[in-house]
Structure 1
Amino acid sequence: MKMLLQDKYCPNFYTYIIYIRAFIIRIAATIALFAPTFSTAFAQTSTKISGSVLNEAGKPMEFATLSLLRAKDSSIVKGTMADANGKYAFDRIAAGDYMIAATTMGYQKTYSAKFTAGAQAVTVAALSMQPASQSLKTVNITAAKPLVERKADRLVMNVENSIVATGNSALEVLERAPGVTVDKDDNISLQGKAGVTVMINDKLTYLSATQLANLLRSTDGSTIQSIELITNPSSKYDAAGNSGIINIKLKKNKQSGFNGSLTAGAGYGLNFRNNSSLNLNVKEGDWNFFGSFSRGDIKRENNMNLRRTVTNNTGTTYFNQYTDFVNQVHFNNYRFGADYNTSKRNVVGFIVSGDHSNGFDTNGNITNIGPSFDRVDSVQNTPSTIDQSFRNIALNLNDKFDIDTLGQSISVDVDYSKFRNNSKGYYNTDFFLADGTTRYRDPLLIANITPSKITINTQKVDYVKPINKTLKLELGAKFSFVKTDNDLQAKIDSTGSGLVDDAGRTNHFIYDENIKAGYFNLSKEFKTTSVQLGLRAEHTKSKGDLITTNNVVERSYLNFFPTLFVNQKLGKKHELGLNYSRRIDRPSYEDLNPFVYYLDQFTYSQGNPFLKPQYTNSFELNYTYNKTINLSFNYSHTSDVFTEIILTDTAKKATYQTNLNLNAQDSYSLNLNTPFTFWKWWTGNLTFTGFYNSFKANDLLGGNLNRGRASFFFKTTHNFLLPKEIKAEIVTFYQSNVTYGIYNIKPQYSIDLGFSRSFLSKKLNVKLAVSDVFWMRRNNITANYQTVDLDIRQKRETRIARINLTYNFGNTKIKARNRQTGADDESNRVKSRN
């Protein structure tokens, strides 16, 4: 077995990988629906030109890009790539004088001698490429980060310069990350699994799916630097998140002196939207001040058709519901802070960030009710308005002290966050006979007034101690204290005499949670092997108090979460990794809240205070070639998996949404991520994920659930360098049928397009982009299990044309400190209500 892993056996395995890669890339290129045609007038093509390209040691240069150039003006005639043996060939080439140019990352561009092609085949002398580092003294080299890059423990999507990200919100940018999907209710999945922990600048957001979506929608995508996908986090991170962590890194100016950038943009789909942001940085001496402000107005539409049947002892009733959601958001986000070097080894700083936003929804809801979908007995018309305000602020104090010059350091973070969300929703239902105009009862007016507050306090300390050159110890502790206060002031008017308190729904729910955690990581570097072993312990104490009914749910539990990472180098370009981690997901604060929120008498949602945490054991085997091609296999088992589910109350003929603990979820996934180069002017990235999710539950609605399905999705990004320094970008996405719990999610697909160009010595950048160019993206879901029989068809405002202008000003030379904070892991579970 050991012999099979030696370098001399790798070429055969690698050749196989190349064939698979080339096949997938060709499929991706076809699906991209973008094939620029470049016409070149050729004389009679009568010859073949071939050769090989080698590195400085005389070994083949796989994947080197070869260009056939006209000798007279160096214009490109044709391009190709070297194969596994460094060989290349150009067929059907007209007679003339040519040269060959070879390029690849990390090496100097290399040219062949001039040669003449005629009637006979030409073999060009082998090209020898030299590392770029040998010319650093005389040549200025500018390297752009790839869109997607693999690091030791995470996949990073560098969106800072992405064209398609232009003018999008942070949520829309996140949807374009490899392996990430967002469903109709804005729940985020990674590699086909829900339960993702979302962090911003290494800080937990503590937000629910609803409030997190609101925050990400009100965050300008142009403020994002990168998105990190961590499927198996180390013990240093909080143990939350059964499918891993998504860390959104925001931009921060990194230069000395005074500098900044100003961005303004506008977009139009079905409605107009606009955004603008300002980033400033001042670094003088030991001080660094930084700040950013972004604002915008977004109006979007969402159309949904919900068809469902309810069967009880009186027969079957058919509901055909049409809902038009119109959401308007005005957002203001800010972030500012300062760092001060008290000495060469110590830096202290603070960060203040906040969100000051308002939302207003106007929704139309018409439900046709009858003994069949074609026969209507009655109609309910429920227009509604929802007025919301978000006032969030977060404070961070931090100190990092380098104890010595060998890497020993200690850092401390103290965080305080407060979220305030006030929501006022009014639902006015008219009851008509089949003609849609004759009332058969008085209108029903329901009001939900729900002020909510969430307060978060965290303290975190991390210590790093290199024991020697190959052995490192990390220790840390964290304490978090969270309190949520939700007050549902429910009112009702069923007689037309005015709103009165609805005692059956009015409730006050307070939830307290304290988590004490400690961890260690021990990492060891061998000659070709690296090992990291970690253990995290978390003690959780929680209390949910439904004050109105004096219903209290208390829990106290201690858990241990081991992690193991092994990385083995198989030659210079091949790496194999094995990862294991145990993780926990605690229910979001809203999901624990037992409030009942009515849309109408047949449609409502309800929390579940008895939800238990879910636990996941996750394994990952990954292979990396040349730090670029990544192939991984993942398996995870989740017990007590809590799942959003739509159930039917047959007695009331009502459909309601809640969360339940199912017995288990088993997930398998195969993931491929690779860059590709067709020609120097056409590069890109491909992500493919095939996965199988199975769900099991005993006695769910009187039956045993055992469902699963093999599914896949892929994303491709194509980057083009066009004439006049214009850059173009195309992003394609496809997801097959997916089974999740009792739901079957229909296929989804879309294509995005963008262009950009810089002016004024690259200080001004103009970007144009269109998302979902062909208006194809939809969310269609069906469920048929026991008493549940429904069909949801939803179309969001996904095709939006945008223009963004960014102007950079000031000094742009010396790098400054980039700080993160310590409260990121708690904010992910806060929820708000529409």
Structure 2
Amino acid sequence: MKTLTTALLSVITWAVTLTNANAQAGVKVSGSITNEAGKPADYATVSLLRQKDSTVVKGGLSDADGNYIFPNIKAGSYMIRVTNVGYQKALSAVFTVGGADVKVAAIKMVPASKALSGVTITGTRPLIERKIDRTVLNVENSVLAAGNSAMDILERAPGVTIDKDDNISLKGKQGVTVMINDKLTYLSAAQLATLLRSTDGNTITSVEIITNPSAKYDAAGNSGIINIKLKKNKQSGTNGNISATAAKGAYYRDNTSLSLNHKEGALNFFGNFSRGDNKRTHLLDIDRTVIGTTSNTYFSQSGNMINTNHYNNYRVGADWDMSSKNTLGVVVSGYYNPERDSTYNHTLIGTQPGVFSTYQNTFSGVPQVYRNFALNLNDKWQIDTAGQQLSVDLDYSKFKNSSNAQYDTYIYNANGTSASTPIMLRNQSPSVIDIKTAKADYTKPLTKTLKLEAGVKFSDVKTDNDLAAQRNTASGYVNDATLTNHFIYQEKIDAGYVNFSKSFKNTSIQAGLRAEYTQSMGDLVTTNNVVNRSYLDLFPSLFVNQTIDKNNEIGFNYSRRIDRPGYDNLNPFIFYLDQYTYSQGNPFLKPQYTNSFELNYTFKHTVNVSLGYSRTTDVITQVLLTDTARKATFQTNQNLRVQNAYNFNVNTPYTVTKWWTGNLNFTAFYLGFKSGSEATGTTLSNGVLNAGKVAYQVKATQTFAITKTFKAEVMGDYQSPLIYGYFLVHPQYAIDGGLSKSFADKKLNVKLSVSDIFNMRTNNVTSIAQGSTIDIHQKNDSRVARLTLTYNFGNSKIKARQHETGADAERNRVKTGN
């Protein structure tokens, strides 16, 4: 590990040397804060007080290592005051500022429950919290999180929407990167949806929404990053919790989870396991017209899909404090998720609207299994007490997905007699995905107000998809060469970044640059069609924050980002709903690039207003096309020329009374799409596109503290109609509610909640494809009542070290299920 450390230090020595040569230090007051165990007290509120009258001169927060700095302090006598939730207020001794920097002795925080006999001080974070660079949804103690999955929780996050195909959008834009504990998941939209639905909400502490990430993060994700933080523990000893949920939608559901943590001396062990049974319905109606050369064909289709999913997720690990400065860790995680999709489709077919000459019934059964194993080795070396540190991650992930599908279609005349021989198809589609990554991150404070961050990352991904299809004949099932193919995709990315951050009296600036060199090869083995690409990209970022006075703060940020196609979107396999409806990947998809700008304003650290603009080129967009020869409609992805997006967001918490608080989030946005060349605006296979629409989204949350141990929450949201590419998305709205009651000194918690109380949430879209109108009406099993029991045992203050692996971006692009 030290060899790797030495190598990285030599790579970035030039940056340290050049910057130190120009660094200038002023008169500063600095120090550190620890908790009762001697560990850094992060994000405590620190105030510099004038000694003669105790007035606040400056204020701020301690960083992740418990350090704080106040630059440009005038001569005089001062004290430091520190406050933090759950701790007694602490004051330093009086000190004098003259012509030299002052290092204040370390301040130790004392838990409030220990300082006051018989009294325990507790603090509750607001459900929605706005920080400088991100919005945080604190769901750990939320009534609405109990028994819900991570996917359910995301649907309630400010500015987040989830479409009919489980694609996640942020402020109207798709291309969101999802991380778990700061680690990329490398999954496709469908696979990510399965993982999020199998992640118990009781294991989640918060959801962070980062609209414009810095160069330190992978450049993927044109809309930003959503980071799901899982629960952790703090001090020596043993603790854990067990949770069980029973739910009722169209069918009964259940889930249970167990978390355990143990820390003794230099060793810390942690783990969690969750399992659940989730059966739900999905109603789908499609009305469409296929334009022919001499006549049109009209289809009216209705279907019901029943998805039965049983999930098992695990995560275990250990940290070893090899010394006071070096921590070695290992994390093993994975899942085993078998499921079955059973679908019935009834399709009326005719040459005149409302007059049908034939109809067909299609029955399909798709049993599938999703498996994942992931291993992470990590080392964090605290090089010195000034904040210089190096962290290294080595990751390996393997996904094995298997599917065996059977499609039986029976065709009838209008009078109910058989019109032709039934069509019976079956296929097997195993896929294997291997992901290897290595990354190293280095941090060095060059002065008390200037910091350098630098790092490198290497990733190697290989996906292997082999589809075998057979058609039933008089002599039995025989191979169908038109539906059989083998697709292999390989991708290597070499990346490096450097970030500089500088603090002035009322201004902070961060500037960074990330470089990524990508080599990819898509090999359609069946037809010997190979697509090779290699490209080098630079991704700059800039953040400026200005404190006007104690009540007003403004900021500006800019970043350039990339979205590479999901692995399943590149796969040209054909997946059938019936012979007239299917989806197909596109191996010729190119990556899309986005330049994002954002202005934001904060009033009294509570009311937040932002105004943003982004421009995406070669935007990857879902389209519905028509195969006129087969009279079939199929879904695929294509690159449109450009997407222009404008957004305006206001987020404000408020207090009606001491027992009634709330949060209001309003987002207005415009999405404009253009296809074809700059000159013509045409050339896409389904016609000219130059479309856009102003839309808005409102989410409101009310929290009622009925007693100290009994509370209620109500959340409502509404999204207006919007245009996304070729789709007009119709309005969506719902109301959720819940109650929570604690017992046994808050060790036992009972929560009752109902999502979509009035069963109003739908997902309806209209598409114009090659002159044909396609109306899609969808209704998911959205009204679900849940009863959750959670019991916490052991030392409630134990924490396992949270750690970000290096393989999260790649895993975000892998399919894990539906």
TM-score interval w.r.t. the shorter chain?
0.7 to 0.9
The residue type equivalent to 1:345 in the other structure is K
Query: What SS does the corresponding residue of 2:758 show, helix, strand or coil?
Result: coil
> 1:749, 1:516 → 2: CA distance?
43
Deviation, 1:141, is 3.4
Query: What SS does the corresponding residue of 1:562 show, helix, strand or coil?
Result: strand
Match of 1:438 in 2: 417
Query: What SS does the corresponding residue of 2:156 show, helix, strand or coil?
Result: coil
Match of 1:87 in 2: none
Question: What is the aligned-residue identity percentage?
Answer: 59
The number of residues matched between the two structures is: 711
Residue 321 (structure 1) aligned to one of 301, 319, 322: 301
Match of 1:612 in 2: 590
Deviation, 1:148, is 1.4
Residue 471 (structure 2) aligned to one of 476, 479, 492: 492
The residue type equivalent to 1:629 in the other structure is V
Kindly provide the CA deviation profile for residues 435-491 of structure 1, in whole angstroms up to 9, marking residues without a partner as x: 3x3111111111121000100000000000000100000010000000000000111
Residue range with higher mean Cα deviation, 554-563 or 192-201: 192-201
Residue 164 (structure 1) aligned to one of 144, 155, 160: 144
Match of 2:704 in 1: 720
Match of 2:805 in 1: 821
Is the contact between residue 625 and residue 769 of structure 2 (CA under 8 Å) also seen in structure 1?
Answer: no
Q: Structure 1: which 4+ aligned runs deviate by more than 6 Å?
A: 55-58, 105-108
Match of 2:174 in 1: 194
The residue type equivalent to 2:203 in the other structure is T
The residue type equivalent to 1:239 in the other structure is A
1:344 aligns with 2:324: yes
> 1:705, 1:422 → 2: CA distance?
38
> 2:235, 2:740 → 1: CA distance?
24
Equivalent residues in 2 for 1:19-38 (5 A)? none
1:766 aligns with 2:750: yes
Match of 1:685 in 2: 663
Deviation, 1:269, is 1.0
Kindly provide the CA deviation profile for residues 299-329 of structure 1, in whole angstroms up to 9, marking residues without a partner as x: 0001011000011112111100001010000
> 2:233, 2:449 → 1: CA distance?
34
Match of 2:60 in 1: none
Is the contact between residue 290 and residue 298 of structure 2 (CA under 8 Å) also seen in structure 1?
Answer: yes
Match of 1:801 in 2: 785
Is the contact between residue 383 and residue 389 of structure 2 (CA under 8 Å) also seen in structure 1?
Answer: yes
Is the contact between residue 709 and residue 743 of structure 2 (CA under 8 Å) also seen in structure 1?
Answer: no
> 1:355, 1:541 → 2: CA distance?
30
Residue 750 (structure 1) aligned to one of 726, 731, 734: 734
1:245 aligns with 2:206: no
The residue type equivalent to 1:794 in the other structure is Q
Is the contact between residue 253 and residue 280 of structure 1 (CA under 8 Å) also seen in structure 2?
Answer: no
Q: 1:661 to 1:279 in 2, by over 3 A?
A: same
RMSD of aligned residue pairs (Cα, Å): 2.2
1:555 aligns with 2:533: yes
Match of 1:120 in 2: none
Residue 283 (structure 1) aligned to one of 255, 258, 263: 263
Query: What SS does the corresponding residue of 1:253 show, helix, strand or coil?
Result: coil
Query: What SS does the corresponding residue of 1:144 show, helix, strand or coil?
Result: coil
Equivalent residues in 2 for 1:119-198 (5 A)? 141-198=121-178
Q: 1:106 to 1:768 in 2, by over 3 A?
A: closer
Match of 1:311 in 2: 291
Match of 1:265 in 2: 245
> 1:496, 1:716 → 2: CA distance?
61
Equivalent residues in 2 for 1:15-164 (5 A)? 141-164=121-144
Is the contact between residue 192 and residue 817 of structure 2 (CA under 8 Å) also seen in structure 1?
Answer: no
Is the contact between residue 204 and residue 228 of structure 2 (CA under 8 Å) also seen in structure 1?
Answer: yes
1:395 aligns with 2:379: no
Match of 2:646 in 1: 668
Match of 1:404 in 2: 384
> 2:545, 2:579 → 1: CA distance?
57
The residue type equivalent to 1:775 in the other structure is N
Match of 1:454 in 2: 433
Equivalent residues in 2 for 1:342-421 (5 A)? 342-421=322-401
Match of 1:80 in 2: none
Deviation, 1:833, is 6.9
Query: What SS does the corresponding residue of 1:210 show, helix, strand or coil?
Result: helix
The residue type equivalent to 2:325 in the other structure is R
Query: What SS does the corresponding residue of 1:809 show, helix, strand or coil?
Result: strand
Structure 2 runs not aligned, ≥5 long: 1-52, 57-83, 88-108, 677-682
Is the contact between residue 566 and residue 578 of structure 1 (CA under 8 Å) also seen in structure 2?
Answer: yes
Match of 1:564 in 2: 542
Deviation, 1:641, is 0.2
The residue type equivalent to 2:609 in the other structure is L
Deviation, 1:107, is 14
Structure 1 runs not aligned, ≥5 long: 1-54, 59-104, 109-131
Deviation, 1:143, is 1.6
Match of 2:91 in 1: none
Q: 1:496 to 1:728 in 2, by over 3 A?
A: farther
Is the contact between residue 255 and residue 281 of structure 1 (CA under 8 Å) also seen in structure 2?
Answer: no
Match of 2:488 in 1: 510
Deviation, 1:255, is 3.7
Deviation, 1:610, is 0.6
> 1:596, 1:718 → 2: CA distance?
46
> 2:399, 2:772 → 1: CA distance?
36
> 1:376, 1:714 → 2: CA distance?
42
TM-score by length of 2: 0.85
Match of 2:67 in 1: none
> 2:610, 2:273 → 1: CA distance?
39
Deviation, 1:106, is 9.6
Q: 1:646 to 1:666 in 2, by over 3 A?
A: same
Match of 1:644 in 2: 622
Query: What SS does the corresponding residue of 2:812 show, helix, strand or coil?
Result: helix
Is the contact between residue 686 and residue 769 of structure 2 (CA under 8 Å) also seen in structure 1?
Answer: no
Match of 1:479 in 2: 458
Deviation, 1:294, is 0.3
Kindly provide the CA deviation profile for residues 747-797 of structure 1, in whole angstroms up to 9, marking residues without a partner as x: 110000100000111110000000000010001111235423110111111
Is the contact between residue 479 and residue 517 of structure 1 (CA under 8 Å) also seen in structure 2?
Answer: yes
Is the contact between residue 590 and residue 832 of structure 1 (CA under 8 Å) also seen in structure 2?
Answer: no
Is the contact between residue 233 and residue 796 of structure 2 (CA under 8 Å) also seen in structure 1?
Answer: no
> 1:797, 1:373 → 2: CA distance?
31
Is the contact between residue 709 and residue 738 of structure 1 (CA under 8 Å) also seen in structure 2?
Answer: yes
Query: What SS does the corresponding residue of 2:438 show, helix, strand or coil?
Result: strand
Match of 2:720 in 1: 736
Residue 301 (structure 1) aligned to one of 281, 284, 301: 281
1:585 aligns with 2:569: no
Is the contact between residue 240 and residue 258 of structure 2 (CA under 8 Å) also seen in structure 1?
Answer: yes
Deviation, 1:704, is 2.1
Is the contact between residue 86 and residue 121 of structure 2 (CA under 8 Å) also seen in structure 1?
Answer: no
Is the contact between residue 253 and residue 279 of structure 1 (CA under 8 Å) also seen in structure 2?
Answer: no
Residue 792 (structure 1) aligned to one of 765, 768, 776: 776
> 1:832, 1:289 → 2: CA distance?
28
Query: What SS does the corresponding residue of 1:703 show, helix, strand or coil?
Result: coil
Kindly provide the CA deviation profile for residues 309-362 of structure 1, in whole angstroms up to 9, marking residues without a partner as x: 011112111100001010000000000000010111110010001011100111
TM-score by length of 1: 0.83
Q: 1:320 to 1:723 in 2, by over 3 A?
A: same
Deviation, 1:702, is 6.0
Query: What SS does the corresponding residue of 2:776 show, helix, strand or coil?
Result: strand
1:204 aligns with 2:184: yes
